[in-house]
Structure 1
Amino acid sequence: MATKKVIAVFGATGAQGGSVARALLQSPEFAVRAITRDVSRPAAVALRDLGATVVKGDFDSEKSVEEVLQGVHGAFLVTNYYDHFSQEKEVLQGKMVADTAKRLGLKHVIYSGLENVKALTGGKLEVAHFDGKGTAEQYFWGTGVPMSSVRVSFYYENFLTAMKPVKASDGDHYNLMLPMGDIPMDGISVADIGQAVASIFQCPKDFVGKAIGLSAERLTAQQYAEKLSQHSGKKVVDCKISPEDYAKLGFPGAQELGAMFRFYWSKPDRNIKLTHQLNPKVRSFDQFLCDNKEALKDF
């Protein structure tokens, strides 16, 4: 029996890293080294039960990064700006993994990147949780590490959590605060990302050196609202808020998210057809909502 290729998965107990780890564990080609800061977390224990080797790793320690990458074939890297709200720190983490992967001769790294919005717009827009990933991604390309980048769309899960519809003051309906006007926005469930990434690992010759935009489908705010209404049984309407007004809402991160939605107006490259080829079971928003009926009760 051939030896399985070991893939180190950073952030394996998070939503995106966990999706990737679980998908890789279903493949006879790969073994998973799940990297997490806390090996006792329930998500870490669950991965161990599925067959992953769970190891403690520290993004901020070069020694730790080198230890967890010793002897692996490849790695999946996702960094989380919201762990520390530092763009500089996120860039340093990405660069540290890139340098270590180069030094150890990894055969394939898949980096969960995003566009550098500030650079692309000449400074007119800044989206910190995009820009840091974009800077690190550019550094990765420059190292010569065999690397693919996946650029993920807006998570469907956001509509059930941070961006769930808000009850109107008159109590008659719920407002969907999605500042996209009539411009369709790409979306995908984070749970469906893993199989797409696993497929990229299986065909490195087709994807090394490429940035792949992942999207299940592209809907307008009105269409998202209609589907939320249909599946929740509650009246959800697109409140037609602009990105500029959204940025003024005053909650932490409102300005950054307003800039992100304004960037989405430029229709960044997300490849729906390729995403469905990489994961034939990727779900539409309809299918996602069917699978999450209980969460819809929390409006």
Structure 2
Amino acid sequence: MIIHKKLIFLKILIVIFLFYTKYYICFFFFVNNTKWCWHKLEGKNFRVFVSRPAQKKSNQLKTKIIINKRKKEENAKSNIRKNDFKSSSQYKLIEELINEYPYKLTYTNLKDQPFILLKDKLNPKYIKGYELPFNLINPLKYELLKLIGKICDPFKPLCCYSLTPKLFIDKMFKNKPSITYNDFCYNIEYKFKFYMPSYTQIFKFEKELLWKLFMTVRNLKEVSPYTPLNDHERLNKILEDNETTLPITISKVNKDINRQGIHPSILNMFFDFLNIEKINNCLKRDNAFLKLESIKNQIKNRDFMEGIRPDYLYIIIYQKEKSKT
């Protein structure tokens, strides 16, 4: 029994001895031979297990860094290209237009346009012609109205707002760096739809006159699209054959004007207006965008996120056409 206890005690001593000797050996090894230890570990590859969310996040960060780097390079290239263009002699053509902004709209004198006074007293017997505007609007002004209604930002299905250069260029060029004159005319005539300009002072009376002419020629009576308050059966009113509403009239006038097309001289003038380099039968995407974007940025009384207003477009294009004649 005593011998058995002594053996157990010896085993405990041996275990304690081995434990402390290993501890001191490890301590001595890591403190005094750290260089040798790291030298041995350098050549070995260790596999680290990472959770899927952490791995996904690290991959997203890597792609984000790559994308940001590419964006910085592209922005730097575009800035260099814009600065080179601004230092060229072609940019002076744009500065001549920009220095005159903002334009002050002239007061519309009703005596110069007597038909406006009669827009509420129109008689279909005295209206001559086959299509709008029945010779009651200046032809040049009407053609410019059709062009502006096509190139401005559409607010379907009734009206259009200001011209945003980026939206116009993307719709006109798609992914092409340049287009020909035939493609330019085809896109405006068939790809762009006409919508009546919404907030404008220059075309304020003309668009009301067009709506009134459309109803007068067809002997239509304008009514409210909604039922009275005492009618609880339905919200929208059932129209008679001789009745119409203003939204329906606006939509049909837009379709009617869209089918008429634009005069070729107006299309040619607008093509030359965007073609800064004056290349025959070719319009570059960068030139057209820089022309419109530089004009937009120089307008002082422009609202936030607003493009070029329809009135400004009319004045610019009208002056261009007037200078040619």
* TM-score tier (shorter): under 0.3
Asked which structure has the greater RCO (Cα within 8 Å, sep 6+), the reply is 2
Q: Which one has a larger percent helix, Structure 1 or Structure 2? A: 2
Normalising by structure 2, what TM-score? 0.23
Q: Which one has a larger percent strand, Structure 1 or Structure 2? A: 1
Normalising by structure 1, what TM-score? 0.25
Q: Could you say which structure has the larger radius of gyration?
A: 2
